[in-house]
């Protein structure tokens, strides 16, 4: 397994207290990295977000997922991205969607320590050529490319692995039960981060962190 692969646990909670509780439990369970889903928070204004990132005080991805890609943020695009600009002061990584309006995306990339440029399709798995072009565009803009797609059959999951075999520093995920195994296999294709849940899943097919750690350890030792 790629030595750089980290297990990231999304913090998918609404209130300040439950976010902190989930963060602490995830760290205790062995997370290498946390992902703060700002769009799920109650009253996610810039001050609240910045305070909670500082209080968590652990390597963290901040994302404020837009509705078009499975998120819950109800404000304007300017409000959504302004929160990420503020979060970038303390978050290690900002995840921003490739489909974000260019002026906002460029502003976030400029102020962030590191960025994941992401693409999500909750309905299907595009062709390998399409996803390779997505990755190419993402890499032109940020540090890490990410695509997460929905397979309809096992052949679709192989498209994800095919793409990962041709690129570097890219997170590739096949969602849902069919694609669940890719969350364990992707690290062996060089994916720098894989996602696992504590309690609340942020995407279909996420395994819990204990299972993820055990399976990765067994496969690494088996090799």
Please report whether residue 162 resides in a domain: yes
Q: Among the options 25, 89, 90, 120, which is catalytic?
A: 120
User: Which of 217 and 10 is assigned the larger pLDDT?
Assistant: 10
Q: Is 146 a catalytic residue?
A: yes
- What mean pLDDT, rounded, does the chain reach? 93
Q: Is 90 a catalytic residue?
A: no
pLDDT value at residue 219: 80
Over the stretch 23-71, which tens digit does the pLDDT of each residue have?
999 999 999 999 999 999 998 999 999 999 999 999 999 999 999 999 9
For residue 185, name the pLDDT band (cuts at 50, 70, 90): very high
Range of 118's domain?
6-222
pTM: 0.93
Output the domain CATH number for residue 161.
Answer: 3.20.20.70
Please report whether residue 127 resides in a domain: yes
- What are the distances in angstroms from CA 10 to CA 36, 92, 138, 193, 218? 6, 14, 22, 12, 23
Please report whether residue 90 resides in a domain: yes
Please report whether residue 1 resides in a domain: no
Q: Among the options 146, 201, 213, 218, which is catalytic?
A: 146
Closest CA to 146 of 107, 174, 178, 177: 174
Q: What is the mean pLDDT of residues 148-166?
A: 98
Please report whether residue 214 resides in a domain: yes
- Does position 222 have pLDDT exceeding 70, yes or no? no
Please report whether residue 41 resides in a domain: yes
Write out the chain in H/E/C secondary structure.
CCCCCEEEEEECCCCHHHHHHHHHHHHHCCCCEEEEEHHHCCCCCHHHHHHHHHHHCCCEEEECCCHHHCCCCCCCHHHHHHHHHHHCCCCCEEEEECCCCHHHHHHHHHHCCCEEEEEEECCCCCCHHHHHHHHHHHHHHCCEEEEEECCCCHHHHHHHHHHHHHCCCEEEEECCCCCCCHHHHHHHHCCCEEECECCCCCCCCCCEHHHHHHHHHHHHHHC
Structural domains in the chain (count): 1
- CA 72/CA 80 separation, integer angstroms: 11
Please report whether residue 33 resides in a domain: yes
Query: What percentage of the chain exceeds 90 in pLDDT?
Result: 87
pLDDT value at residue 4: 64
Please report whether residue 62 resides in a domain: yes
- CA 164/CA 174 separation, integer angstroms: 11
């Amino acid at each position: 397994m790629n030595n750089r692969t980290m297990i990231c646990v999304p913090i998918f909670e609404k209130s300040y207290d439950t976010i902190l509780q989930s963060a602490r439990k995830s760290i205790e369970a062995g997370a290498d990295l946390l992902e703060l889903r700002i769009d799920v928070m109650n009253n996610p204004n810039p001050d609240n977000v910045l305070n909670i990132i500082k209080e968590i005080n652990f390597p963290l991805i901040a994302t404020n997922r837009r509705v078009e890609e499975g998120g819950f943020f109800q404000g304007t695009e300017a409000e959504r991205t302004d929160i990420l600009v503020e979060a970038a002061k303390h978050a290690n990584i900002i995840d921003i969607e490739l489909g974000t309006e260019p002026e906002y995306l460029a502003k976030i990339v400029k102020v962030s320590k590191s960025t994941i440029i992401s693409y999500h399709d909750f309905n299907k798995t595009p062709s390998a050529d399409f996803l390779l072009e997505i990755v190419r565009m993402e890499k032109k803009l940020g540090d890490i490319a990410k695509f997460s797609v929905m397979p309809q059959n096992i052949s679709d999951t192989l498209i994800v692995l095919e793409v990962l075999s041709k690129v570097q520093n890219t997170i590739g995920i096949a969602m849902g039960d069919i694609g669940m195994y890719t969350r364990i296999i992707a690290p062996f294709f060089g994916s720098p981060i894989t996602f696992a849940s504590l309690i609340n899943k942020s995407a279909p097919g996420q395994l819990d962190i204990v299972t993820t750690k055990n399976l990765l350890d067994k496969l690494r030792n088996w090799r």
